[in-house]
Structure 1
C-alpha cells in the first residue's frame, strides 16, 4: 500500500543535476534550470519506494554555494530530522562544492537520521544523463535503516561515500568522486546499500558544533592560500588583516616558501588561526614533522583537504581561539 511507504524529504539546491543545455550535444549548460518537481517527474520509479516530500531550498550552481544557503539548508534538515514522519532526507546539489556542504552538515546537524547528498556530472538534458539514476539511489539509501547513524552520505555513480572522506577528483566524467584516504563507504546494488565499513570519525550526534554556535560567533572568516613556487608574503599578510583563520594548501606535507611561512608565523602571533593542509589531494599532514608547529603556533590538518579544513577551522573558531584546542578539533573530526 502506498501509505505504508516511508516518507523521504527531497531538498533541492540546483546544480548540474538540474541543468539544461542549449541542445543535447552542447558541452555548456545552465545549472539549476529545473525545479525539484521536474527532477522528480523524471524518476517515476520513486513512487514505488517512497512518498516524496519535495522542497526547493535554492537553485544555483554549486560554485555559488554560500553560507546563507548552508544556514537555510542546515536549519531545514534539522527540522526534518525532528519530524518523526520523515524516514530520511535527500539533498540534490551541484558537484563542485557538494563535498563541502556534506562535511558542514555532518558537523552541525546533530541527528542520526539518514541524510544523503546527490548530484550529477551531466545536465538533465544530456544524452545519457545519470541524474535520474543517482536520485533514485539517493532516495533508496535515505529510506534504508542501514544508512542511519552514519552521518551525511554522498551517492554518485552507485558509490556511497562518507561526508568527511569524499572528494571531487575530476572536472568531468562519471567517475569524478572518490574517497582517497579511507575508501568509499559502500555501493548501491539493486536499490539497496552494501556498506563496507562504519564511519569511524566523529560526526553528527557526537559533534560539539551547531548552527546556533556559528550564528552566535558570526561565522568566522577563514581563507585558503594555495602554495606554489615563489609564493610571496604580501597575499598572506593581507589575508591576515581580514580573516580570523587561514588554511595553507601547502606543497607536499603542508609546506610553502620561507617567505610564506614567515608571513603565516606573523599571522599566528597576531592571533590568526593557521592550519596546514596539503594541495596534493590525499595523504596526511602530520604535526611537528615538516615544520615545528608547536613553535610556530600552527595547526596540522591531518588528512582533511584544504576546503574541508577551512570548514572545520571556521567551526572551531566559533567555539575557541586557543590553538591547542583547535588542534584537538582536527585530531577528533
Structure 2
C-alpha cells in the first residue's frame, strides 16, 4: 500500500504546484491594453436638450458639452481610454466649408500621434453624411474615424445618444475598423461614409445605405463587418487640405417639373465654379434648363449631372449628350455628396475628363 500512497501524494502535490503557478501567472498578467480614442464634439441633437423628457421635436441642439456627454456613459472607460475636445457647438445644418476644413485638419493632427488609435466625432444628423464623406476624402490615416449622432435629445425618454456613443467608441477601438474608411454608426449599424444617407426625418433607423446595404452591425460589444466599400478613401485619395483655407464655390440646382433658370443664373452670377444639377430620373435635363447649363459650361463653370432620386448610377451619355456638352456625371453619389467631391476635385483640376475619373474612383 505504501507505494500507492506515495504516488497519490506526489500526484496531489504536483497538481497543487501547477495550480499555484497558474494562479500566479494570471495574477501577474497585465490587463488588456485599451485603445486611446479621442471624442471630438461638434454639437447636434446628441448634445441637445428639450423642455421635458417627452420632447423629441422642437428641442434645442448643441447645448451639452463633450465632458458631460462622456460622463453620461461611464461604461466607456471599460472599452477605451477616452478624452474629449469641443471643436464646435453647433446644429449641423449650420456647418460651413470652413468648419469641415478645421475639423479635418484637427483629425489629421490627432491621428498622426502614436498615442491616438481612433477618433469619434459627435455630430448633428442633418448633415452627418456630408461631413463624413468630406472626411472620407481628406483624412490621411487608416486609423478608424467614426461619426455618430442621435435622433433624440439627451433629455428624452429612451435617448439614443448614449448607446450610439458607446457603440461608436467600441467601433473606433476595433482593429476590424482599421482601413475601412470613415464610418457612420447609429442604431447598432455600421455604414460607409460615401454611401449612407438620412432617409427619415425623425425615426431612429433613419440612416441607411439604399440598395448597396450597410457594412455591418455592432452587437455583443464588438463590430461585425460583412462587406466594405470598394471606392478609394482616406489615405488613398489625392486630396490634401493642409494648406487650404477656402474651398471652391459649388452649388446645387434642383430639377423639377416646370424648372426654370433663375437659380442657376443666380449661382453663376454669384461666382459658382461648379454646379451640381440634381435632375429628375437619370439626371434628365429639361429642355428649358439644358441650354442655360450649356451656357454656364461655356463660361467655365463645371456641370455635374446628378439625380434627385437617391439611388442608382447616373449614366454618362444616357439622358444627355455629356461628351458634347462637356458635362460630368456623378456615378452613384447623391447631389450633396457630388458637391463635396467636385469642390475637392476643383482644388486639383478643371479638366472634365480628370474630374469624371474622380467620380468613378471615389
Return the TM-score normalized by structure 2: 0.89
1:139-172 deviation per Cα after TM superposition (whole angstroms, max 9, x unaligned): 0000010000011100010010011010001111
Alpha-carbon distance in 2 for matches of 1:234, 1:70: 29
Matched, 1:37 2:75: no
Aligned residue for 1:86, secondary structure, equals coil
In structure 2, what is the Cα distance between the partners aligned to 1:154 and 1:224? 24
User: What is the Cα deviation at residue 135 of structure 1?
Assistant: 0.2
Native 8 Å contact 2:141 2:235 kept in 1: yes
Is it true that 1:232 corresponds to 2:260 in the alignment?
yes
CA offset at residue 275 of structure 1? 0.3
What SS does the corresponding residue of 2:42 show, helix, strand or coil? strand
1:269 aligns with 2:298: yes
Determine the structure 1 residue equivalent to 2:8: none
8 A contact 1:228–1:256 mirrored in 2:
no
For 1:67-82, what aligned pairs fall within 5 Å after superposition? 67-82=97-112
* In 2, Cα distance between equivalents of 1:211 and 1:62: 21
Q: Distance in 2 between matches of 1:192 and 1:259?
A: 53
Q: What CA distance in whole angstroms lies between the structure 2 residues aligned with 1:282 and 1:133?
A: 30
Q: Is the aligned partner of 1:304 residue 2:316?
A: no
Is contact 1:169–1:178 with CA below 8 Å preserved after alignment?
yes
Q: d(CA) in 1 for partners of 2:128 and 2:240?
A: 19
Contact 1:231 1:256 in 2 (8 A): no
Residues matched between the structures, number = 331
Checking the alignment, whether the CA contact within 8 Å between 1:161 and 1:184 is kept in structure 2 is: yes
Structure with larger Rg: 2
Which residue number corresponds to residue 22 of structure 2?
A: none
Per the alignment, in what secondary structure is the counterpart of residue 30 of structure 1? coil
- SS at structure 1 position matched to 2:303: strand
Aligned partners of 1:276 and 1:298 also within 8 Å: yes
Contact 2:93 2:127 in 1 (8 A): yes
Aligned pair 1:113/2:113, yes or no? no
Q: Is the 8 A contact 2:48 2:61 kept in 1?
A: yes
SS of 1:161 mapped into structure 2: strand
What is the CA distance between 1:4 and its match in structure 2? Answer: 3.0
Q: 1:74 to 1:174 in 2, by over 3 A?
A: same
Measure the CA separation in 2 of the matches of 1:87 and 1:296.
47
Cα distance in 1 between the residues matched to 2:31 and 2:160: 26
Q: Which residue of 1 aligns with 2:83?
A: 53
Contact 1:285 1:301 in 2 (8 A): yes
1:285 maps to 2:325: no
1:19–1:124 contact (8 Å) kept in structure 2: yes
Candidates 103, 107, 114, aligned match of 2:133: 103
1:212 is displaced (CA, Å) by: 2.8
Q: Which runs of 5+ in 2 are unaligned?
A: 1-29
Write the distance in 2 (CA, Å) between the matches of 1:313 and 1:67.
Answer: 13
Query: For the Cα contact (< 8 Å) 1:253–1:286, is it kept in 2?
Result: yes
Q: Secondary structure at the match of 2:124?
A: coil
Residue of structure 2 equivalent to 1:210:
240
Structure 1 equivalent of residue 20 of structure 2: none
Q: Are 2:185 and 1:155 equivalent residues in the alignment?
A: yes
Q: Structure 1 residue aligned with 2:275, among 239, 246, 254?
A: 246
Task: Report the TM-score when normalising by structure 1.
Answer: 0.97
1:182 is aligned, of 212, 222, 247, to: 212
Aligned CA-pair RMSD: 1.2
SS at match of 2:75: helix
Per-residue deviation at 1:257?
A: 1.7
Q: Tell me by how many angstroms 1:258 deviates.
A: 1.0
Distance 2:343 2:168 in 1: 29
Equivalent residues of 2:47, 2:64 under 8 A apart: yes
